[in-house]
Structure 1
């Protein structure tokens, strides 16, 4: 793992995300009806080298990371800064209401890894016209997990902003550990930045990350060991029946 450098705020791709002037997303309407979205538009959010969002389904994790990616200029369906593919628009209008404060000396490159739209990205990459052999025309031929691992190996190299939405969906335990190491190395370079949403206590354990837990009150910073997510996994592994008895029908 690379030695961590203290990043200059000017070297990070995104220093702060906040509501743009003249924002027109009334409270009580979606997506501002989600507490975490309302908090972002009300207070803004400063971003460090690694920011991890955790919370239950519907808490706004994917909505926030998608909006940050799109406000930065990334394709909402995933890919690098230059990706232009689109299948069916489903993203919220939140990114249009956000202003991103960029680092003055930071890279403008980025990559959005979004689990639910990866096959569309693979097709886009497969059909790209290249000067030589297309290095990404084999992704559809791999298993789901293998193709994810290849995307990480091939694309997560350059300085820039890396946004990930539930990357653990295709990865084994050991692959999740590898992802944590990769993200830690990117952040340690001092020139790259990570924003990710996850349900995995493994992926949430990126060293030095700011972890935000999303709930009915919005988002607040929590230490990894104090996350409800971590406690539930720990208790389940200690005694699975403690949880399973609530979901399994009686014989």
Structure 2
């Protein structure tokens, strides 16, 4: 199976959590990986881990909501590896609050990073994909797209990414490019830990509570999402597009 071997992939928000897990998986499967993050030192640390076990990766820095920065990062990646065929829109932030407490800045920050960021990265990356008549775009949605108390901004952005994905699939399909989304449920990351602390609990308690409520009786880890991303990104998934897979341990079955 070809999978992602010898393809060039860009993972936004790739320095930690789900993004780092996807970057490591793609590199292990033979891809050349651009690990993009606002914090370049953190991106470099992830790259060092990848190259330390024989993978190929480069650290990139950009605010994904700024067109010139995204363009510069893509140019650097293509200059290094010669092409770009896989994009994972994973960069994200949390600014959780109840509706009556949410500020304009809370709303705008989340929309800019999740939605504007995915739009800019997809628009800039697709130029290379269209030229080579091949590409894979994977965007990170969330079970919060169904609605989640205290996350009206995040839930709206994650639902929006599903609409973005389906429209990308329609527009880019004729050029050999697929677009799909992953909607994770509980995945244990630094962001999840911060959420636990915000609501006055611990990551251990959150994990146990999530596991007890799920059919699979465990919480998720970044590798669970990376496995799904590897499927969407592979050459063999060329007949799968416009789809949203909920990787949530069965939470939607209740």
TM-score by length of 2: 0.35
Q: Which has the larger radius of gyration?
A: 1
TM-score, normalization by structure 1: 0.35
Q: Going by fraction, where is helix more abundant, 1 or 2?
A: 2
